[in-house]
Amino acid sequence: MSMKGKRLRASFFWLLTLLVAVLVIVLVARSQTSVKSVTISTLMSDLKADSARGQVDTLTSSNGTLVLTRGQAISSSQETAAINESFDITRVLKDNTIDYTDNRVLRLQYETPSPIWGWLSMLANFLPFILLAVFLLLMLRQAQGSNNQTMFFGKSRARLFISNKPSVTFMDVAGVEEVKQELQEIVDFLKYPKKFAVLGARIPKGLLLVGPPGTGKTLISRAVAGEAGVPFFSISGSEFVEMFVGVGASRVRDLFEQARQHNPCIVFFDEIDAVGRQRGAGLGGSHDEREHTLNQILVEMDGFDTSTNVIVIAATNRPDVLDPALLRPGRFDRQVVLDKPDIRGRIAILQVHSKGKSLQSSVSLEVLARQTPGFSGADLANLLNEAALLAAHRNKHSIGMGEMEEAIDRVVAGPARNSRIISEREKSITAYHEIGHALVARMLPNTDPVHKVSIVARGQTGGFTMLLPVEDRNLWSKPQFEEMLAYALGGHAAELIIFGEVTTGASNDIERVTRIARSMVTEYGMSDRIGPVALGHKDELAFLGRDFGEQRNYSEQTAREIDEETRRIIQEAFDKAYNILLQNRTRLIMLSERLIQEETIEGPAFEELFNQPLNEEQEDSPSVLAGMPGVDPANHTNHQRLLLPGSTYQVSPQLQPPYAHKRDRQTL
Using alpha carbons only, what angle is made at residue 167 by residues 161 and 170, rounded to the nearest 5 degrees? 115
What lies within 8 Å, CB to CB, of 363 at 6+ separation is: 399, 400, 401, 404
Beta bridge partners of 470: none
Under 8 Å between Cβ of 540 and 548: yes
- Of 300, 434, 482, 619, which residue is the catalytic one? 434
- HEC secondary structure over 563-581: HHHHHHHHHHHHHHHHHHH
* CA–CA gap between residue 151 and residue 142 (Å, rounded): 14
Beta bridge partners of 234: 159, 268
* CA–CA gap between residue 453 and residue 595 (Å, rounded): 8
Under 8 Å between Cβ of 497 and 545: no
| Beta strands at 464-467 and 450-454: parallel, antiparallel or unpaired | antiparallel
Nearest residue to 279 via CA among 266, 269, 289: 289
Under 8 Å between Cβ of 585 and 497: yes
The answer to whether 242 is a known catalytic residue is no
Beta bridge partners of 466: 452
What lies within 8 Å, CB to CB, of 445 at 6+ separation is: 483
* CA–CA gap between residue 89 and residue 100 (Å, rounded): 10
* CA–CA gap between residue 391 and residue 407 (Å, rounded): 10
From residue 263, alpha-carbon distances to 193, 258, 305, 308, 311 in Å are 12, 9, 11, 7, 10
Under 8 Å between Cβ of 448 and 476: no
* CA–CA gap between residue 266 and residue 226 (Å, rounded): 10
* CA–CA gap between residue 154 and residue 141 (Å, rounded): 21
Under 8 Å between Cβ of 79 and 46: yes
Continuous segment of H or E residues that includes residue 528: none
Coil, helix or strand for 445?
coil
The CB density around residue 299, as the number of other CB atoms within 10 Å, is 13
Under 8 Å between Cβ of 203 and 329: no
* CA–CA gap between residue 609 and residue 614 (Å, rounded): 10
* CA–CA gap between residue 211 and residue 337 (Å, rounded): 6
What lies within 8 Å, CB to CB, of 592 at 6+ separation is: 428, 431, 432, 435, 494, 498, 622
Catalytic site positions? 434
